[in-house]
Amino acid sequence: MALQVVLTSTRAILTLPDNSLLLTPATITISPHTGRITSIILLPGLVDAHVHLNEPGRTEWEGFETGTRAAAAGGVTTVVDMPLNAIPPTTTVEEFPAVTPDDVASAMRVLQNSPTTLIFETSAVAEILKLAPSAPALHLHIVHLSATECIPLLRKARAEGLKITAETCFHYLELAAESIEDGDTRHKCCPPIRTEKNRDALWAELMRPDSCIRTVVSDHSPCTPELKILPHRLGGQTAAAAAASSTETLADSAIEVEPQEEEKEEKEGEAGRETKVTPGDFMAAWGGISSVGLGLPILHTAARERNLSLSDIVRLCCVETARQVGLAHRKGSLKVGLDADVCVFDDTEEWTLTRGEMRWKNNCSPWEGKVFCGRVKETWVRGHRVWDGQHVVGKPLGECILEKRRV
Ligand SMILES: [Zn+2]
């Protein structure tokens, strides 16, 4: 049911949380469903700068339509697709073999004065920082930072004037290894979910005014449930059926440079794998977590204990993500002249994510059953309402932004 703004006045007397009265201009929104005054906040549509939609080639995993519907339902109005698992990918192994430090150095040389961002895996941070002074004007960016061991290196490089930033993901800020049940491969991602101690240290860095972590993204990386090799209790197949259907190769959700030792063995043992796969096998399961569209409720729920404000969330997930991908002139802020991408957020509603609420193509996610505080009531894209709080409305109107980066 549509949300309705019913009363606006330059003079309204509001009761504040401490029960004092305030005369102020105000707009009161009322839910026609409950007849109550609702708590509504307007935010810029979120810009999720790291999403895998897997189209073309693996549309049984996701696709633009389902992925962006899920995004819209969570107030996300722009996604940046990383076509890593699409077929064909942006490039092939033959065209783009594993890079060496020399390759990185020459890339930096060529790009040093370009309005672009060079992105790297965390595993390469020390190497990158050695090369970075050769291209001091180039923006370097570390994707899905999870291990806090890199943070001192990044802080030092930033203190020395290098333009290097990092992103982390919603799951690294909210999930922790200690709480994952054995065999719950819905949590398998790459890099992996780490300890509570690591998670707290990520938060500590995130909350610093000069934090090297400038953005938070989903790294939405779905697959079909079979590839998660879920245990039977989580809806997976029996061991025999899983073994029979397992033909996909082991891969991860991102651009890992070096597979772990065990993964190498798995790859080498691929031929005999059909008989070895056991439901709940973390090593064999696809690495990737579905979460596009959940970022705002995840962070807003965590914010209660972490002293994070809604303005911080907008900075991390709208303003800075738009800037990171060179779209700040169109996206990420509520500002005259920008695209009218708006998220209408009720910061008080509590709700539980059920499978029925998941709008991705495959409703498999470690966020199932989580209780969130705060829910997106409407989403508007370029002036058109695309989400009414319960349904995606109207025809798909998303456009592909392929403009050449200017900043
Ligand atoms: Zn990724």
pLDDT tens digits, 142-154:
999 999 999 999 9
Q: How far is the CA of 220 from the centre of ligand 1 (A)?
A: 7
Q: How far is the CA of 60 from the centre of ligand 1 (A)?
A: 18
Q: How many CA atoms does the CB half-sphere of 122 hold within 13 Å?
A: 21
The position carrying tokens 């860095």 is: 205
Give the start-to-end residue ranges of the domains of the chain: 4-40, 43-331
pLDDT value of residue 4: 64
Query: How many Å apart are CA 379 and CA 341, to the nearest integer?
Result: 7
Query: How many Å apart are CA 47 and CA 78, to the nearest integer?
Result: 5
The CATH superfamily of 43-331 is: Metal-dependent hydrolases (3.20.20.140)
Q: How far is the CA of 160 from the centre of ligand 1 (A)?
A: 28
- Evaluate whether 12 touches 28 at the Cβ level (below 8 Å): yes
**Average pLDDT estimate for 256-277:** 45
Is residue 73 scored above 90 in pLDDT?
yes
Query: How many Å apart are CA 54 and CA 83, to the nearest integer?
Result: 6
In this prediction, what percent of the chain has a pLDDT beyond 90? Answer: 55
**Average pLDDT estimate for 305-330:** 95
Is residue 253 scored above 60 in pLDDT?
no
List pLDDT tens digits, range 76-124: 999 999 887 788 776 665 666 677 888 888 888 888 888 888 888 777 7
Query: How many Å apart are CA 329 and CA 304, to the nearest integer?
Result: 31
Q: How far is the CA of 192 from the centre of ligand 1 (A)?
A: 12
Split at pLDDT 50, 70, 90, the class of 262 is very low
Strand, coil or helix: 216: strand
pLDDT value of residue 251: 40
Query: What's the chain's length in residues?
Result: 407
pLDDT value of residue 238: 59
Is residue 257 scored above 60 in pLDDT?
no
Cα first-last separation, the chain: 40
Q: In what order do the strands lie in the sheet with 371-381?
A: 40-44, 342-352, 371-381, 384-387
pLDDT value of residue 171: 98
Is residue 272 scored above 80 in pLDDT?
no
SS3 content of the chain, % helix, strand, coil (to 5): 30, 20, 45
pLDDT value of residue 181: 92
Q: How far is the CA of 372 from the centre of ligand 1 (A)?
A: 24
Q: How far is the CA of 253 from the centre of ligand 1 (A)?
A: 5
pLDDT value of residue 8: 83
Query: How many Å apart are CA 123 and CA 257, to the nearest integer?
Result: 7
Q: How far is the CA of 217 from the centre of ligand 1 (A)?
A: 10
Is residue 241 scored above 50 in pLDDT?
yes
Q: How far is the CA of 174 from the centre of ligand 1 (A)?
A: 18
Is residue 249 scored above 60 in pLDDT?
no
pLDDT value of residue 105: 86
List pLDDT tens digits, range 360-388: 999 999 999 999 999 999 999 999 999 99
Query: How many Å apart are CA 46 and CA 322, to the nearest integer?
Result: 9
Q: How far is the CA of 357 from the centre of ligand 1 (A)?
A: 23
| CA 277 centroid distance within chain | 29
Q: How far is the CA of 23 from the centre of ligand 1 (A)?
A: 48
Cβ neighbors of 402 (< 8 A, separation 6 or more) are none
Q: How far is the CA of 273 from the centre of ligand 1 (A)?
A: 26
pLDDT value of residue 1: 47
- As given in the structure block, the two tokens for residue 149 are 């061991």
pLDDT value of residue 3: 56
In this prediction, what percent of the chain has a pLDDT beyond 70? Answer: 87
Q: How far is the CA of 282 from the centre of ligand 1 (A)?
A: 18
Average pLDDT of the chain to the nearest whole number: 86
List pLDDT tens digits, range 172-203: 999 999 999 999 999 999 999 999 999 999 99
Q: How far is the CA of 53 from the centre of ligand 1 (A)?
A: 10
**Average pLDDT estimate for 329-355:** 94
Q: How far is the CA of 1 from the centre of ligand 1 (A)?
A: 35
Residue type present at position 194:
R
Beta bridge partners of 14: 22
Is residue 271 scored above 90 in pLDDT?
no
Query: How many Å apart are CA 365 and CA 358, to the nearest integer?
Result: 9
Q: How far is the CA of 50 from the centre of ligand 1 (A)?
A: 6
pLDDT value of residue 361: 92
Q: Give the residue among 164, 90, 161 at the shortest CA–CA distance from 120.
A: 164
List pLDDT tens digits, range 19-31: 889 999 888 888 7
